[in-house]
Amino acid sequence: MPEVAEIQRALAPTWCPGCGNFNMQKALSEVLAESGMGFEEYAMVWGIGCHGNGADFYRSQGFHGLHGRALPLATGIALTNPDLKVIVEMGDGDGYGIGGNHFLHSVRRNIDMVAIFHNNQIYGLTTGQASPTSDQFMKTPSTPGGVVEEPVNPVGVAVAQGATFVARAFAGDVEHLKDLYRQALAHKGFAVVDVYQPCVTWNKINTFKWFRDRVYKLEELEGYDPTDRTAAFKLSMSTFHELTCAPDECKIPIGVFYREEDSFTYQDGLPQLDRPMWKRAVEPRDIGTILEKYE
């Protein structure tokens, strides 16, 4: 079983001091270490953004892809090698913006993988432009008059589109984040973990304190049933926050919104992908009987 120090590369992270990415890396590294999986048992894929620098900070087999294209790459790995647990990390602009179409179709296909979204509600890598999840009316270098449109609701979209595991986390609560990562890794199907990851440099509104004053845990909400998709969607629609909302007016749930057990995955529909592609060369099929009818 690898130790946390073995999972994290000797190359020290270069994220801004205080960035939420540090806690996300800490949580995922510790969960991977305790899972007992060896390096040959999982693969990681990153998109482009501050989160993508994690490709340099994890000791893992994987791929650092193009902006918005992490999910197709992760899908290719998951389908060609079902022995691997695939973990894909994306940012909000990366995963919900340019990669939004891939997000929708990965959800509905129920690809067996874990999709972690670093949601800092800003384009942190390119100096603070508005992202798809920026709050409406937020002023940024690309929206000096304020963001016109409402933000994307990734939890609501995932639940409505049929995702079989949907969770939201806050990077300021490492132990809770670790628990959600554990559940996502154990899930069979497409597991969405949307993580509020404050950008300390460019987003001066949605700060660690801002979230700490507003988040509450779903597991502490009396009567909430994470197997009720309708309730999950309704709750997701109540969590849009506004720039002016006070802590007592704007409460943001974190935890598992929806979970479906024993779901039918995309891989289940392709029994021919029962083993890694390279093993097909070791044990090739005899296609002689198939070709006979063409003679």
CATH number at residue 272: 3.40.50.970
Query: What's the domain count of the chain?
Result: 1
User: β-strands 215-217, 165-170: how paired?
Assistant: unpaired
The whole domain housing 51 covers 4-294
Whether the model clears a pTM of 0.85, i.e. scores above it, the answer is yes
What would the pLDDT profile of 158-184 be if each residue is shown by its tens digit? 999 999 999 999 999 999 999 999 999
Q: Which residues contact 31 (CB under 8 A, 6 or more apart)?
A: 178, 181, 182, 185
Torsion of CA 85, 253, 121, 243, to 10 degrees: 180
| 211-265 residue pLDDT tens | 999 999 999 999 999 999 999 999 999 877 777 778 888 899 999 999 998 899 9
| 132 and 100 Cβ atoms separated by less than 8 Å | yes
Nearest 5°: the CA angle 94, 86, 260 is 90
**Cβ atoms of 94 and 150 closer than 8 Å:** no
pLDDT at 1: 59
Going by pLDDT thresholds of 50, 70 and 90, the confidence category of residue 10 is low
Coil, helix or strand at residue 294: helix
163: alpha, beta or left? (left if phi > 0; alpha if psi -120 to 50): beta
- Find residue 43's DSSP bridge partners: 86
> Can you tell me the distance from the alpha carbon of 77 to that of 114, in angstroms, rounded to the nearest whole number?
13
| pLDDT at residue 246, as a whole number | 83
Q: Are 71 and 48 in contact (CB under 8 A)?
A: no
Question: Among positive and negative, which fits the CA dihedral 260, 261, 264, 267?
Answer: positive
pLDDT number for residue 287: 77
